[in-house]
């Protein structure tokens, strides 16, 4: 099966069904089509000023995400993770406020593992297994969740989520012009 990417990327907000789809594996990470898609994703992420972006947030069901890798004393380096899989998660979790570009204006405290082990194809580096901690672990968990059809509000209690109903409806109606 060859990789198919949309010609034009459309940012997706809560209410768009693609956010609930499980993304499929990228067969050829170094193909010109894959690289062109990644460049379009980078532009959209810059436009939205985020720390990460998953392909299904731009209406594509491929396992590609961007994540901001912190660099000491510098701006983060945006890396592309293709076909990422979280191999291990620490038992210790960290509760921190989290938001999502697909849920503008919503920020909630979410528990995430403090440390993870990840396997992914990284553009320019090839397939790697690496560990991530703290903010990077949170970003990667968030983006891999997206690729699995899971959104950050799924980590909230039923009560917390039900209190967001009105806001979620507003986002779905206002942002998703189908």
Q: Which residues are catalytic?
A: 143
Exposed e or buried b per residue across 88-125, where buried means at least 16 C-beta atoms within 10 angstroms of its C-beta: eeeeeebeeebbbbbbeebebebebbbbbbbebbbbee
Q: Where would I find the beta strands (DSSP E) of the chain? A: 52-54, 64-71, 74-89, 93-99, 107-113, 115-122, 126-133
- Closest to 144 measured CA to CA, from 113, 165, 105, 103: 113
- What is the Cβ-side half-sphere exposure of residue 109, based on CA atoms within 13 angstroms? 4
Cβ–Cβ < 8 Å for 3, 33? yes
For the chain, the C-alpha Rg in angstroms (whole number) is 16
Tokens of 51: 């720390």
């Amino acid at each position: 099966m060859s990789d198919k990417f949309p010609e034009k990327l459309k940012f997706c907000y809560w209410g768009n069904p693609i956010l609930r789809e499980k993304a499929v594996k990228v067969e050829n990470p170094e193909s010109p089509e894959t690289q062109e898609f990644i460049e379009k994703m980078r532009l959209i992420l810059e436009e939205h000023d985020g720390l990460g972006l998953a392909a299904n947030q731009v209406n594509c069901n491929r396992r590609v995400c961007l994540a901001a890798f912190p660099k000491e004393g510098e701006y983060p380096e945006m890396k592309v993770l293709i076909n990422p899989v979280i191999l291990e998660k620490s038992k210790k979790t960290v509760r921190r406020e989290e938001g999502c570009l697909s849920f503008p204006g919503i920020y909630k405290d979410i528990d995430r593992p403090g440390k993870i082990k990840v396997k992914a194809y990284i553009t320019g580096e090839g397939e790697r297994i690496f560990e991530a901690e703290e903010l990077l672990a949170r970003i990667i968990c968030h983006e891999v969740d997206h690729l699995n059809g899971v959104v950050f509000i799924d980590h909230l209690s039923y009560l917390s989520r039900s209190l967001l109903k009105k806001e979620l409806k507003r986002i779905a109606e206002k942002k998703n012009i189908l």
